[in-house]
């Protein structure tokens, strides 16, 4: 603490970013400040409530980076949070990646749905909060405009050419100018003006009908209905056809909820809710959220509506508007109200679930005649015919999955290769390591299986001089949770409507999912590696590059030379892989 006090006296009265560290030197919090000296000192003076107190209690050191302005500090804060993933920061994960539509920048372009935005790949439209709407739009556009459909240009025309949905660059010379007007029409369509396309389709439908081409007329009719349906699915909020995001927030003493409404072309498409703990002033947390939300995005809406804030730093970076009256202000108020409701509902749900989970854990302890198990670890073995024998372990603390505690195991060769021997091996490896590291041990071990697995686990624990209760989770013929076995292998009576039964079901399903996913990964990896063995110039390192970039062997087989190069292969190696899969007899 003396070192911290000395460092506090050296803080400058300038804007910048500060990084708080724990006793291990790990960065646990990143923050920005208009005046570093005032902001950082505030953590070490006065009293703090529970949430900020927890953060301060773990600060052993700090460092800072000065910037020229508060705007630069905000951008740097976002970059450092993304890099270090600090424990106490608001962390926006990548599981909210929305799809875009893209007209690819190729000699013969395609219309695709993608979640990855890469510079120079083409013209992007979006993002689309509703993934189904994005796919419907791509499907309609591909029917309306004869862009290329094939991933690789074939040697002869396909069905799309005969349906007049492709210009067939495979057999005809298609000039680049042929795509220019289509690009403009697609842009017009995606910007909301569908009236001209609908009128054109109505004229074509009438012409086809008069020529007695009723099948073609029916197709045009269906296209018109699809377009109208796509348009009617959206509730009109504003009539100026501008893309907007509307953001509101609500707080409790330790949690904050952000509500984002996505308005595209004046129509409310979707909304998102994000709930986080926060450790700074609410307005600072709100500013940090907005900056992180947009700073990495390839496309911003024309306008972002926010509630009033004292800081003007966001308006320097993004197209921010703080409406004072009218419909826009009403939208912000609606976002704020929804945030408050969502936060209230979430807290009420958590309280109810916590009560039920605690009841389930208490009952589980009573059934097994042990104290209430707050830390549970569960194991499952996965294999097919003894091949690719693996195990998965999941960890539940206070009835909740702790994914950073999950572990995967490859079963080492043994004299007897069965599930019980594999279970004994994994138990021995897991808890020998915990003992050597002096790490916390579970209050209960659950194994997926019957008396054999229980006995194997118990023997391994006995060899380590550990006395941890072991119980078994058994399934019925439909591979669903059926019941519980105690440490002696006897069945424990448990009503299927009881919260404890639901808790066991969640644990058993989770450990099975985790183990079988690992098994499939190992099997797919083995199959892919063996399939690549015959290719000259593709050694272990390049195999791993391909596996990391492509999700399956089929994707590697279908990939073009350019896509193989994107995976990190040099042109010569990419050519060898392409030729191996496309020129083999």
Q: What is the pLDDT of residues 121-143, one digit of tens each?
A: 888 876 666 677 677 778 878 88
Return d(Cα 10, Cα 239) in angstroms, integer: 55
The ranges of the chain annotated as CATH 1.10.150 are: 532-582
Most confident stretch, 186-200, 310-324, 474-488? 310-324
CATH number for the domain whose boundaries are 375-523: 3.30.420.340
What's the chain's average pLDDT?
Answer: 82
**What is the arrangement of strands in the sheet containing 122-125, beginning at the earlier edge strand?**
111-114, 100-104, 122-125
Q: How far is CA 103 from the centre of its chain?
A: 25
Least confident of 346-360, 451-465, 544-558: 544-558
Residue 249 has what pLDDT? Answer: 93
Q: Which ranges in the chain are annotated with CATH 3.40.1440.10?
A: 2-89
Other beta carbons less than 10 A from residue 302's beta carbon: 14
Per-residue b or e along 57-84, where b marks 16 or more CB atoms closer than 10 Å to that residue's CB? ebbeebebbebeebbbbbbbbbebbeee
pLDDT digits (tens, 9 = 90+) for 563-573: 888 888 888 88
Q: What is the mean pLDDT of residues 432-455?
A: 92
CB count within 10 Å of CB 164 equals: 11
Q: Is residue 198's pLDDT more than 80?
A: no
Give pLDDT, residue 345: 81
Specify the pLDDT at position 531. 62
Q: What is the CA radius of gyration of the chain?
A: 30
Q: Is the pLDDT of residue 247 over 90?
A: yes
Q: Which CATH number fits domain 2-89: 3.10.150.10, 1.10.150.120, 2.60.260.20, 3.40.1440.10?
A: 3.40.1440.10
514 conformational bin, left if phi > 0, alpha if psi -120 to 50, beta if neither = alpha
What confidence tens digit (pLDDT) does each residue in 370-380 have?
Answer: 999 999 999 99
Give pLDDT, residue 384.
Answer: 61
- Residue 253: the pLDDT is 83
User: Cα dihedral sign for 82, 87, 89, 90?
Assistant: positive
Q: Residue 74's pLDDT is what?
A: 85
Kindly indicate the confidence band of residue 489, based on its pLDDT and cuts at 50, 70 and 90.
confident
Which pLDDT score, from 0 to 100, does residue 584 have? 47
Q: What's the pLDDT score for residue 305?
A: 94
Res. 175: pLDDT tops 80: no
Highest mean pLDDT among 36-45, 337-346, 424-433, 522-531: 424-433
Give CA angle at 472 (467, 478), nearest 5°. 165
- Span of 227-241, 276-290, 535-549 with lowest mean pLDDT: 227-241
Which region among 105-109, 390-394, 454-458, 503-507 has the lowest average model confidence (pLDDT)?
A: 105-109
Contact 385, 415 (CB under 8 A): no
CATH number corresponding to 532-582: 1.10.150
pLDDT of residue 355: 85
- Residue from 316, 320, 282 nearest 72 by CA: 316
Q: What pLDDT does 539 receive?
A: 77
Could you read off the pLDDT of 257-280 as tens digits, one per residue? 999 988 876 766 677 888 888 888
């Amino acid at each position: 603490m003396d070192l911290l006090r000395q460092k506090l006296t050296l803080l400058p009265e300038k804007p910048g970013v500060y990084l708080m560290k724990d006793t291990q030197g790990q960065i646990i919090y990143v923050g920005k400040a208009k005046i570093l000296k005032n902001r950082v000192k505030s953590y070490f003076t006065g009293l703090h409530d529970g949430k900020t107190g927890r953060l301060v209690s773990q600060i052993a050191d700090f460092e800072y980076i000065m910037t020229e302005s508060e705007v630069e500090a905000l951008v740097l804060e976002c970059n450092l949070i993304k890099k270090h993933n600090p424990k106490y920061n608001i962390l926006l994960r990548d599981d909210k990646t929305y799809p875009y539509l893209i007209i690819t920048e190729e000699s013969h372009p395609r219309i695709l749905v993608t979640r990855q935005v890469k510079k120079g790949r083409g013209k992007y439209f979006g993002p689309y909060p509703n993934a189904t709407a994005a796919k419907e739009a791509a499907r309609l556009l591909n029917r309306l405009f004869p862009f290329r459909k094939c991933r690789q240009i074939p040697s002869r025309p396909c069905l799309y050419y005969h349906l007049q949905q492709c210009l067939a660059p495979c057999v005809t010379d298609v000039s680049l100018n042929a795509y220019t007007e289509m690009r403009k029409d697609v842009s017009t369509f995606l910007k909301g003006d569908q009236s001209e396309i609908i009128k054109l389709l109505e004229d074509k439908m009438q012409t086809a009908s008069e020529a007695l081409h009723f099948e073609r007329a029916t197709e045009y009719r269906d296209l018109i209905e699809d377009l109208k349906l796509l348009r009617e699915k959206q509730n009109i909020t504003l009539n100026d056809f501008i893309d907007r995001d509307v953001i509101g927030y609500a707080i409790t003493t330790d949690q904050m909820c952000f509500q984002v409404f996505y308005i595209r072309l004046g129509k409310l498409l979707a909304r998102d809710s994000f709930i986080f703990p926060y450790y700074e002033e609410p307005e600072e947390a709100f500013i940090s959220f907005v900056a992180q939300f947009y700073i990495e995005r390839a496309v911003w809406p024309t306008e972002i509506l926010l509630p009033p804030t004292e800081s003007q730093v966001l308006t320097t970076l993004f197209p921010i508007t703080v409406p004072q009256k009218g419909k826009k202000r009403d939208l912000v108020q609606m976002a704020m109200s929804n945030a408050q409701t969502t936060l209230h509902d979430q807290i009420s749900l958590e309280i109810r679930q916590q009560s039920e989970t605690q009841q389930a854990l208490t009952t589980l302890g009573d059934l097994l005649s042990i104290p209430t198990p707050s830390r549970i670890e569960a194991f499952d073995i996965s294999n097919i015919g003894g091949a690719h024998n693996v195990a998965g372990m999941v960890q539940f603390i206070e009835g909740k999955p702790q994914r950073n505690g999950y572990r995967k195991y490859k079963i080492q060769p043994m004299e007897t290769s069965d599930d019980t021997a594999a279970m004994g091996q994994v138990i021995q490896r897991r808890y020998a390591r915990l003992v050597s590291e002096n790490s916390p041990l579970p209050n209960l071990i659950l194994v997926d299986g019957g008396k054999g697995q229980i006995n194997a686990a118990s023997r391994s624990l006995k060899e380590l001089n550990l006395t941890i209760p072991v119980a078994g989770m058994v399934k019925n013929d439909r591979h669903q949770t059926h019941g519980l076995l105690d440490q002696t292998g006897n069945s424990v009576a448990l009503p299927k409507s009881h919260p404890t039964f639901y808790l066991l079901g969640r644990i058993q399903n989770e450990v099975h999912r985790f183990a079988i996913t690992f098994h499939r990964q190992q099997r797919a990896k083995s199959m892919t590696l063996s399939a690549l063995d015959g290719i000259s110039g593709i050694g272990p390192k390049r195999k791993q590059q391909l596996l990391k970039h492509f999700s399956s062997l089929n994707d590697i087989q279908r990939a073009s030379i350019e896509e193989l190069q994107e995976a990190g292969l040099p042109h010569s190696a990419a050519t060898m892989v392409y030729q191996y899969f496309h020129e083999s007899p």
